[in-house]
Structure 1
Amino acid sequence: MKRFVLLIVALVVAANLCSFASDKTVEPTKNAFKTKTKSVAIFKDGYGFFLREGKAALVDYWCMTDYIPKAIAGTFWLYTLERGTVVDTVRSTGKNNIKFDKPADLAAPLARSVGLQISLTTDDGTVEGELLKVVDDMALIKSGKQVNVIKLSDIKSAKVQGQPMLIQVKGGKPDAEVTMRMGYLQQGINWMPSYTLDLVSSTEAKLTLRATITNGVEDLTDCTVLLVVGVPNFLMKPQFDPLTVHSLGTAVLGALPPSIAAPSMSNAQIAERARVVMDGDYGGEDIPTVNVPAEGVQDLYFYEKKGLDMAAGDVVMTSIMEGTLSYRSLFTWDADIGKDVFHYVVLKNGLSAPLTTGPMMVIQGGKVLGQDQLKYVPIGAEGRLKLTQATDIRTERTEKELERDKREVIDGITYLLAVTEGQLVIENRRGEVSEVEVTWSVDGKVLEASDGAQVSSSAKPDQGLNPKSGLKVSVKVDPNSKKTITYKYSRYVRARA
């Protein structure tokens, strides 16, 4: 849990630093304040940590907002930016009647509720809709495409519709103006990286990283986007936050079967029902699953993109990073599988950021050479990309038994110790020196291997006395020439009776 809380703090801090730089305009201050998404940290697994901001005018230390996100349990945060102030209490309730003794008393509280959904009752009936403005002794209510003008003197009762979030701020003046920030983890947005690698010379390549962002949740305007390398563990991912679920009220419960959405449900029951909705049908806001390998337990890294605009439902591809890398060609031969040799490009990440896992297309001179999945490459490390089968490098593996005459009795069974010699021949028909990495294995104990081959052995229970030995070596083969790698190993074979 401590690690989880620290992660949320880190996301909030990172979002705060980025959002200050993109702050341009602020809406007129109201008690019922509006918020704008300032930044979002997007994970590859379909979740994003959003940070919204708005100005609010307190009334007796309270303000309210009707923007309620579908936040994941334990990730919903509200806080103020002003020194000495703190969010003390957050309440979700449907009892939001506006109290007044005479119609003239309505002007001030209604003016503070501009932008909210309001219900005004007169002798002629009830008008519901968005409160657009209060002008002198009139209230303007937008219902669909129609704007109704209601005299304050005709109003018998007034109520804020739905279940807006009520927020109490302590530490300042009861009528102070405060900057509210709202942070939360929400499902419905993801990103997929893709690369192009242009081989501009025999040793240098230009790398371009782009991100394809699929947004299924909310509009982003002039937003700072943090694309996260790595997928952290969020314990409560399958569940909605009870507070936000309660405020969403009818919208969430309406998505549930009638037999489940009982009006008498407690907060705990609502949260549990909401979890069912989230696991099954995400309220019509499903987005395509992106099958991108995660970076496991590695530390998080953020690629930053400022000033991004995209509406809910949009898919956007945007450039993230460009740089020049050094590379070399490498040919690999797995002698256990067959004779085929494959051409790889080995990248050296000399950039200031790690390279996240993603598909990479390799081009040279405007021609496509191939595409492969680049696995996560830390700063300063190397990564490999498979290009194609190398037809100009031929290979051959041969073995011959040198002797089988030494007898040993082990556990009452007679064995012969056989010694075998092998050769791996590589013929390079390319017009340049080629580096070839060779891997192979033998059932037995390696006695010797040329060219400084690395040897690793492990017991094989099904093979009795003989270990499984793996060998690996990298050699450079001159153009139009051959290279021979030799090795020798021993193994026990059961003697015939």
Structure 2
Amino acid sequence: MIRHTKMRVLSLSVLAALATAGYGQTTPKNMTFSTALKSVAVFRDGFGYYVREGKVKLENGWATTDLVPQAIKGTVRFYTLDKNDKIDQVVIGKENRLDFASPAEIKARLADKVGLKLTVITRSGQRYEGQLAKILDDMLLLRVGDAFTGVPYDSIQTILLTGFPVRIKVTTDSPNKVVGIGVAYLQEGIRWEPSYVLDVHGDTGSLALRASMQNTTEALKDSDVFFVVGSPFVANRGITDMLAPMPVAPPADKDTKPENPVRRAEVEAEEAKRGNVESAAVTREEAGELYYYHKPGLSLANNDVAMISVFEAVVPVSPRFEWNADGEEVSYLVSIQNKSSQPLTTGPVFVLEDGKAIGQENVKYTPANGTAEIRLSRGIGLKVAKTEAEVRRGAPAHVGKTDYIPVFLKGTLTITNYKTTKATVRVTKTARGKVNELSDGGVVKQTQILNGEPNPINDLEWKVDVAPGATKTITYTFETYMSAERAGSPPIPSGNGDVDRG
């Protein structure tokens, strides 16, 4: 279908010209360009640092692009890839005019812009919008769907580029050369959460870090993605940069207007107040230095959610049990030594032992060569028992206004291992008084002196190995001062406890 205009009827020669024009094969190259997303650094608390680049042939030092970054205030940076070129100014306006002094200049100005969307306004006020299909001797040809509209040059008053609202002035020695231009900025709407899988095989384990990423902003296509450990302070989060909210035409490759970034920021701010905006917690240890996990060549559509493998490492594993002998609980722990060159960020770890699920817990931030402990479950397969009895008493001692009697106590801790493998057990106990003897290499980890109290509080610790089917007995003795009124004359009854872990 050929549409007639009031100014010119398109002839059959135009049809022939269209047939031989190779329409759609000409790539716009002069002045206009689109950027490709080269990389994005994703932060756990909901924003990313985007780096986009593109090439363009300058036109008297000017270029125009279709990217209007919805950036956090003050974080937008335009730059040139050649260090000898400089960005002089960036202008975003309602209209992007193609200047011409006379109708005779129009053909030359549009010569390499075939394929771009234009708005053409005539001297009589008529407005035509479409894709530039052909430059003829006396008119330009716009395509709208399957129809074509011819507009003579001598009737044109204004030509606007549609979908390229950003104009960039480059200071360079050659104002019509091809240059590389980049833009980098912080933008809300992308986040990641870490999770680990640890498969234990004896004294080694395979540790895999996965990143669950939610992308609600820009599509990724073979982009370098960096998952960032740590959280920098960003003063203007929630405030959109002045460049972004200008009322501009829709991008060249989209039919809908972009969401108003000012309104979007207002909605997100209100949701954050109500607690509807999720944010991954970052531990205090991670809030200082930043570390970047690198994932090259990642593609992900807008609004997609993906789980991405970040790295796998073989780590030394030391499974052990913990028994706090002040109570009855025995816990099973796995210690892993981070032998990789990168830190472990805080996150949940799902633990398997020879492919069998044994539990899930959180691993805390662990630097390279550090050790992380994962507390998993109750210590199945161990039976523990404890007794503590008076051995003898000493002569009363007068301290201040109170008479005290030294009481000598002996404690016994037993561990029976019903597992088919050796059990390494860390035992802790509190003793109130002066510690005399500790068997099996026991140590006093800490002593606390209390004002007005004759007895210090001692934290005791043992690390023992219990062979399969064997029983280990630990003993300790200590001396405690009891008031004569509390101690009385009879021997102190022995306390005991017995709990079966099997």
For 1:155, the equivalent position in structure 2 comes to 156
Give the number of equivalent residue pairs.
Answer: 444
Equivalence map 1:346-365=2 (5 Å): 346-365=335-354
Gaps of 5+ in 2: 1-26, 250-256, 487-502
TM-score (norm 2): 0.76
State the distance in 2 between where 1:216 and 1:445 align.
Answer: 63
Contact 1:31-1:59 within 8 A present in 2 as well? yes
Aligned mates of 2:320, 2:108 — CA distance in 1:
75
- Using a 3 Å threshold, how does the CA distance of structure 1 residues 467 and 181 change in structure 2: closer, same or farther? farther
Q: Structure 1: how far apart are the matches of 2:393 and 2:119?
A: 98
Contact 2:44 2:280 in 1 (8 A): yes
- Given that 1:94 and 1:162 are in contact with CA atoms closer than 8 Å, whether structure 2 keeps it comes out as no
Partner of 2:292: 302
> 2:215 maps to what in 1?
215
- The whole-number CA distance in structure 2 between the counterparts of 1:317 and 1:452 is 46
Which residue identity is paired with 1:87? I
- Cα distance, 1:38 vs. partner? 0.8
Name 1:138's counterpart in structure 2: 140
Q: Are the aligned partners of 2:42 and 2:228 in contact in 1 as well (CA < 8 Å)?
A: yes
**Selected match of 1:313 from 303, 312, 318:** 303
1:311 and 1:398 map into 2 onto residues whose CA distance is: 64
**Structure 1 match to 2:442:** 452
SS of the counterpart of 1:106?
helix
Matches within 5 A, 1:59-74: 59-74=59-74
| Higher helix residue share | 1
3-state DSSP of counterpart to 1:244: coil
Query: Which whole-Å CA distance do the structure 1 matches of 2:28 and 2:92 have between them?
Result: 24
Q: What letter corresponds to residue 357 of structure 1 in structure 2?
A: T
Q: Which amino acid aligns with 2:292?
A: F
Q: Does 1:429 align with 2:430?
A: no
Q: 1:100 to 1:332 in 2, by over 3 A?
A: same
Superposition deviation, residue 312 in structure 1: 0.4
Matched, 1:172 2:173: yes
Partner Cα separation in structure 2 for residue 93 and residue 212 of structure 1: 38
CA positional deviation for 1:78: 0.9
Give 1:324-339 correspondences, 5 Å limit: 324-336=314-326, 338-339=327-328
SS at match of 1:105: helix
CA radius of gyration, larger in: 2
Change in 2 beyond 3 A, CA 1:155/1:392: same
Decide which moves more: 203-212 or 419-428.
419-428
Specify the alignment match of 2:364 in structure 1. 375
Matches within 5 A, 1:11-26: none
Secondary structure of 2:33's counterpart equals coil
1:326 positional shift: 2.0
TM-fit CA distance, 1:445: 5.9
Distance 2:146 2:375 in 1: 62
Match of 1:193 in 2: 194
Report the Cα distance in structure 1 between the residues aligned to 2:149 and 2:433, rounded to whole angstroms.
93
CA contact (8 A) 1:216 1:312 kept: yes
Give the match's secondary structure for 1:480.
coil
Partner of 2:244: helix, strand, or coil?
helix
- 3-state SS, counterpart of residue 245 of structure 2: helix
Equivalent in the alignment of 1:243: 243
Secondary structure at 1:342's aligned position in 2? strand
1:124–1:317: structure 2 CA closer, same or farther, 3 Å change rule? same
Q: String of CA shifts for 1:149-181, please: whole Å, max 9, x gaps.
A: 352524332334688232222233222221011
In the aligned structure 1, how far is the partner of 2:428 from the partner of 2:303? 48
Paired residues for 1:236-275 under 5 Å: 236-246=236-246, 253=260, 256=263
Instruction: Report if aligned partners of 1:38, 1:223 keep a CA contact under 8 Å in 2.
Output: yes
Once residues 324 and 266 of structure 2 are traced to their aligned partners in structure 1, the CA distance between those partners, rounded to angstroms, is 49
Q: Is the 8 A contact 2:95 2:165 kept in 1?
A: no
In the alignment, the residues of structure 2 paired with residue 132 and residue 289 of structure 1 have an alpha-carbon distance, to the nearest angstrom, of: 46
2:32 corresponds in structure 1 to: 32
Identical columns (%): 33
Paired amino acid for 1:471: L
Question: Displacement, 1:51?
Answer: 0.6
Question: 1:342 maps to which residue?
Answer: 331
Q: CA deviation at 1:303?
A: 1.8
Report if the CA contact (8 A) 1:194-1:210 is conserved: yes
Q: Which one is further off, 293-302 or 224-233?
A: 293-302
RMSD: 3.5
Report the Cα offset of residue 225 of structure 1. Answer: 1.0
Q: Are 1:240 and 1:275, in contact at CA under 8 Å, matched by a contact in 2?
A: yes
Distance in 2, Cα, partners of 1:465 & 1:150: 104
Matched, 1:58 2:48: no
Report the residue type matching 1:303 in the other structure.
Y
Per-residue deviation at 1:335? 2.9
Give the letter aligned to residue 307 of structure 1. G
